């Protein structure tokens, strides 16, 4: 199981201490339960996050459709 470590702020440590006392459990057990109940959301794919942008820009879908854009492609240029 991967381990993630971070140092919580003073306010968060105080909240964790009070919450663990309320349920008569250690802070570690409370943190483990919270990790199960409140998992970190995994971001979707780039497509899912940019779906609203697709099709908003006008222009050719592929520059290679016009041979003029392919002139010199792959040619070695000396600086």
Whole-model pTM: value is 0.33
Helical segments of 1-79, H only: 10-22, 27-37, 46-50
- Domain boundaries in the chain? 10-70
Backbone angles phi, psi at 44, to 5 degrees: -75, -175
pLDDT in tens, the chain (79 residues): 566 667 777 777 777 778 777 777 777 777 777 777 776 767 788 888 888 888 787 776 676 677 777 777 777 777 6
């Amino acid at each position: 199981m991967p381990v993630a470590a971070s140092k919580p702020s003073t306010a968060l440590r105080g909240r964790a201490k009070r919450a663990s006392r309320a349920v008569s459990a250690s802070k570690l057990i409370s943190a483990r339960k919270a990790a199960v109940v409140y998992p970190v959301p995994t971001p979707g794919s780039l497509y899912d996050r940019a779906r609203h942008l697709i099709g908003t820009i006008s222009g050719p879908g592929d520059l290679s459709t016009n041979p003029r854009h392919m002139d010199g492609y792959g040619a070695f240029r000396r600086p």
